[in-house]
Amino acid sequence: MNPLISVADLATALASARPPLVLDVRFPPSSAGHAAYQEEHIPGAVFLDRDAVLAGPPGTEPGPAGGRHPLPDPAALQEALRSLGVSADHPVVAYDEGGVPPGGSVSRAWWILRWAGHPDVRVLDGGFAAWKRDGRPTTVEVVEKQPGDVTVRPGALPVLDAAGAAETAATGVLIDARAAVRFRGEEEPLDPVAGRIPGARNLFYADTIGPDGRFLPAEELRGRIAEVVGDAGTVGTYCGSGITAAHLALAMTVAGYGTPALYVGSWSEWITDPDRPIAKGPAT
């Protein structure tokens, strides 16, 4: 199944007898995202708070709870998703603000729901910006959804820890989704330490998006990704905190590569252990 859905196809699906559940994941920050939702949103959509639902509390210690956006607790995730109306046998479509560069929140929603075992999750290609540009209707009406029955079963998508990320960088390809200046360690606006995981390669996540805010065609995506991945059998992605790395995972899925393993803790978890090595400068 194509993980993307076009504006036209979503409009058709919403007019059908069995419309998908639509999740508005606009961010940042959460308060501004919710304010944008209150001002207007796709009819029938419910607001999902990215940091409250799709991540656990930030952690400063090494391990699965470390980093700025660690994995959410499965029980808490299940409760939140059910409260939004998510059910296992009902399709879900998620969107964020769209635009260039994309924020990555909707990709995180797609990845977390797929990791949690939901079989039918798609992303609105181009986001809310594409919906509005196409002249589609919006509303301020908030619809109360019936509670869903989804059961969170973690592990449906592959996950890397720090050791796994280092091994992937050494024996396969570990792709850093951050901008090149952060990859090279020249700038670091979000984390206290600059640099990258040694052996990683760089593909800025926004380079998978066209000027209209939609993903590049699958063939063009494959070519762009192939320049970084080559013929590697094992591929993983990471970024600053596991948000835009999910975007690269989505892009690789769209391109037909399959979904790579994701280092959820990413750079913000890597640097919680001062003994872990750090690389800077151009890739060699």
- Catalytically annotated residues: 239
Other CB atoms closer than 10 Å to residue 257's CB: what's the count? 16
- Find the helix packing angle between 218-229 and 244-254, rounded to 10°: 120
Q: How far apart are the C-alpha atoms of 277 and 84, rounded to whole Å?
A: 41
Question: Residues 6 or more apart from 12 whose CB is under 8 A from it?
Answer: none
- DSSP assigned state of 86: -
Residue with tokens 């509303």: 139
- Find the helix packing angle between 244-254 and 105-115, rounded to 10°: 70
Complete edge-to-edge strand list for the sheet that includes strand 46-47: 4-5, 121-124, 92-95, 21-24, 46-47
H or E element in which residue 201 lies: strand 201-202
Cα separation values, 255 from 7, 122, 132, 220, 283, Å:
20, 15, 26, 8, 25
